[in-house]
Amino acid sequence: MLFVNGRHVPMEFFEDIPFSLDREVLLQRMRLVAGTKEADEFEALVDRAEAMGRPKAGYTVRYIDEKGEDTVTIGGVTFTSAALRRNLEGLERVFPFLATCGREVEDIVFDRQDFVRAYYWDTIKGALLECARRHLQQHLEARFLLKTTAAMSPGSGDVDIWPIEQQRLLFGLIGDLPPAVGVTLTESCLMIPVKSISGIRFPSEHDFRSCTVCRRENCPSRTAPFDPDLWESLH
């Protein structure tokens, strides 16, 4: 259970998420050829991450109190985002969540000159975060019998889609979850470990991706094409 504003709400978190890192996929992502010196160095870091990594994730169950034109109030916290408001149409229950690569791998510091290995490590931390995120999604869908879900995060997509400053509101909504999984929020609303993701997951037949409403060009992490009609409809 989670204690928020003097009330108990359901919370569950996972500190020992089983995971394995797909070396083939990671080598491809890094454009490294197996058997080369560079690939061996990279795989040594993957070994290290598998030995010491502890990706973590958790969620709470909250109910929608009220919906405005471009606002939605959840558990007494009002978020302003036309996209979030639209995505939550017809819903009463949502799952605010947090997932992270874990502090254990965050605290490794490489020599400043060793930027290649630092870059490798950053990619591996991203893969650990993805393991945590996927574990949580699968758990929620199975536990609450949800056929499919989608998620939104403050600060993803164009700045006005769901402003990153509302990260503070989200952290207020999830109460004790950040310390439980070892994530802190800086004054500029960035999370530490940096490879962490917070947001609201909700039942949805449509896969919503913030990339569809993000105009950033040449983003290497883009997972969906920009949708100008959708973007226009939210402004």
* Residue numbers at the binding site for ligand SF4 (CB under 6 A): 156-157, 210-211, 214, 216, 219, 221-222
> Tokens 């758990």 sit at which residue?
139
- CB closer to ligand SF4 out of 64 and 150: 150
**Pick 149 or 210: Cβ nearer ligand SF4:** 210
Name, in order, each residue with C-beta under 8 angstroms of 56's C-beta and a sequence gap of 6 or more: 13, 14, 15, 17, 99, 100, 102, 132, 181, 182
CB of 235 to ligand SF4, least distance (A): 16
Task: Check: CB of residue 47 under 8 Å from CB of residue 211.
Answer: no
Closest CA to 56 of 183, 150, 166, 231: 183
Residue at 13: amino acid letter: F
SS3 content of the chain, % helix, strand, coil (to 5): 35, 25, 40
Q: How far is the CB of 209 from ligand SF4 (least distance, A)?
A: 7
Are 166 and 79 contacting, i.e. CB atoms less than 8 angstroms apart? yes
Q: Which two tokens stand for residue 118?
A: 């630092």
Distance CA 62, CA 72 (A): 12
Pick the closer one to ligand SF4 by CB: 156 or 204: 156
State the minimum distance, in angstroms, from the CB of residue 63 to ligand SF4: 28
Nearer to ligand SF4, 111 or 217 (CB): 217
Nearer to ligand SF4, 33 or 190 (CB): 190
How near is the Cβ of 216 to ligand SF4 at its closest, in Å?
4
Q: Which is nearer to ligand SF4, 181 or 214 (CB)?
A: 214
To ligand SF4, the closest distance from the beta carbon of 204 in angstroms equals: 17
Q: What angle do CA 187, 192, 196 make, to 5 degrees?
A: 120
Beta bridge partners of 67: 72
Q: Please say whether the dihedral angle defined by the alpha carbons of residues 101, 81, 79 and 74, taken in this order, is positive or negative.
A: negative
CB of 221 to ligand SF4, least distance (A): 4
Nearer to ligand SF4, 146 or 211 (CB): 211
CB of 155 to ligand SF4, least distance (A): 9
